[in-house]
Structure 1
């Protein structure tokens, strides 16, 4: 058993690419993923699960078809399953996503923003 804490800054320093979630821990069947985001993502939804965005550094917006939510460092938002959304960050934003193992970042859509799953750092 590993008795060392997981340091977000140290883990975030290991990659530079945007929109490419990296797994840092698991709890039961849930994964904790760090992601750097910048610019627009794609409209998508997750039919089978809720998704939580926790902003560690920077600011982001999550757009919905009927509005949006703005998040800053130290804030979080839970998107209910089946709700279409599109994350956006004008400047680089560092976030943590918590979701079940195997969830594809673009939901049902496959495109150039679809990241490889289960990449650990």
Structure 2
């Protein structure tokens, strides 16, 4: 049996924003934590939904055609596949993401952050 994963402890191991870290695998998906600060660029994931769960701080997700979704700790939002969106955080936010392994965080393999496992 594996030991429990301490998400706060994993988040404490890095400072970079917009650089998700894989902390576990789940049915072919990466379970990741990330720190967000400022605005990410508009992007789309053509083949998969985009799952965001806020652990700490506040996150806004601009969703093309639907306005802005505001999230606080303990709240989650799923951007449907094929929908253009832009996450942003005025102050640092900590989030949990779940995506199929190999999904580029930017929607484009050329601009995606490299996969990092911690």
**Displacement of 1:28:** 1.4
CA contact (8 A) 2:32 2:98 kept: yes
**Displacement of 1:101:** 0.2
Using the alignment, how far apart are the partners of 2:37 and 2:49 within structure 1?
22
Q: What residue in structure 2 maps to residue 83 of structure 1?
A: 83
The 5 A counterparts of 1:1-121 are 1-2=1-2, 4-66=3-65, 67-108=67-108, 110-111=110-111, 114-117=112-115, 119-121=116-118
TM-score, normalization by structure 1: 0.92
Aligned length in residues: 117
CA contact (8 A) 1:44 1:109 kept: no
Moved beyond 3 Å, runs of 4+: none
**Displacement of 1:108:** 2.4
Using the alignment, how far apart are the partners of 2:109 and 2:100 within structure 1?
18
TM-score, normalization by structure 2: 0.95
- Runs of at least 5 residues in structure 2 that lack an aligned partner in the other structure: none
